[in-house]
Structure 1
């Protein structure tokens, strides 16, 4: 379970405002990559502290509740990179761009950042990369939940514009339903053409 030991350690070096950064949407075949930056308040309720975890391990209903709670208690900012940017830059660089935009959207710049992953984007503050950070750091866990809820909501909205791929259920990941929709309908404007399954389909067509 995540805790705040890393936030405390950074705070001991003079960093009072620590932002957790995480992104959601590196693997899907469609839609943007979305990142969140979250600066948690110094004192969390025991219930919130116990509930925060890697978004993949939190049930959907609780994710929604936590995201709404965090929007009122914490400093929260979202950033994104669009499909065209993913295809132009590659997914890693697009993910870093989304994180940079999320951090830049905070009302005040943080003193330091904790970033999920093994590589750091260029940030205007000291930062530490944590592999599996959403399961280690409360701030990163909070960011993973906020980003996941925001992206899932957007993919459900995009499913209404581009029906037939099941994005309201699969969020753009390469499920059997999504593959079936691609075979019937072909790719749409929200598909990542640089991704191998989409590129192969276009080449075959």
Structure 2
């Protein structure tokens, strides 16, 4: 390849996985641009190997139960406990045993663009996906912890085919008739839970973007209902909307303050 231009070598290294023999040959090329291209290639390969290692580590729960004869192993996670507005959303996802998506992890560690791309990939190849949504009214009625459980149970009930084992992020589900593992920080330890985390996050973000169209003064498309400065400024100026969680501070404090705080209900 020494007869190739630097641009041609860069393109080749970008598109191909090269043999050790070819790599050693290129390493004798005195051109600085070639050596830089080789380093970029090595860094890329090292990153891919790390992602592959992480992915295999996150499949250990799934692989264990597949080896035990389980067929449909569902990962369950929820998003939206902390916001001042909007629902809590859960997803349950059953992945095929040959599923591979390097880089998939806890949705909070991914960019919005990555989550959207990953969610599309997960939904396109999943054996089953179930979504559970509990709105702010029920959150206020039963509390956010119980609402999270209800959302997760709702998501599991929507799965078809039915699961024969559950991998759940942190929270036991008392009303589902399946064996389960409760895994703390499960979205970082199980690929199925990570997939559920991503699907639930993207679904909820889309809901909050739609709410932004109806209530444009709170920046729901940017903050997803969390108590950012822009959200709090909207609350102070325009009041409490029907999707706000009235049992959460500072919403509860605003409402208890009455007319003196300038808070109204849409």
The structure richer in helix per residue is 2
Deviation at 1:139, TM superposition (A): 0.2
SS in structure 2 at match of 1:72: helix
C-alpha distance in structure 2 between counterparts of 1:168 and 1:126, whole Å: 38
Question: Mapping of 1:119-134 within 5 angstroms?
Answer: 119-134=172-187
SS in structure 1 at match of 2:244: coil
Q: Decide which of 66, 87, 110 is 2:118's aligned counterpart.
A: 66
SS in structure 2 at match of 1:129: strand
Contiguous gaps of at least 5 residues in structure 2: 1-53, 259-266
Contiguous gaps of at least 5 residues in structure 1: none
Q: TM-score scaled by structure 2?
A: 0.74
C-alpha distance in structure 2 between counterparts of 1:70 and 1:64, whole Å: 10
C-alpha distance in structure 1 between counterparts of 2:171 and 2:93, whole Å: 19
1:7 and 2:62 are equivalent in the alignment: yes
Aligned match of 1:157:
210
Question: Mapping of 1:39-54 within 5 angstroms?
Answer: 39-45=94-100, 48=101, 50-54=102-106
Q: Any conservation in 2 of the 1:97–1:121 contact (CA below 8 Å)?
A: no
1:34 and 2:65 are equivalent in the alignment: no
Structure 1 vs Structure 2 CA RMSD? 1.2
SS in structure 2 at match of 1:196: coil
Q: TM-score scaled by structure 1?
A: 0.95
Q: Any conservation in 2 of the 1:99–1:121 contact (CA below 8 Å)?
A: no
Aligned residue-pair number = 202
1:180 and 2:233 are equivalent in the alignment: yes
Q: Any conservation in 1 of the 2:76–2:192 contact (CA below 8 Å)?
A: yes
Q: Deviations over 1:18-44 (max 9, x none)?
A: 000000100000000000000011102
- Pair member with larger Rg: 2
The answer to which structure, 1 or 2, has the higher relative contact order (CA under 8 A, 6+ apart) is 1
C-alpha distance in structure 2 between counterparts of 1:90 and 1:133, whole Å: 23
C-alpha distance in structure 1 between counterparts of 2:211 and 2:144, whole Å: 20
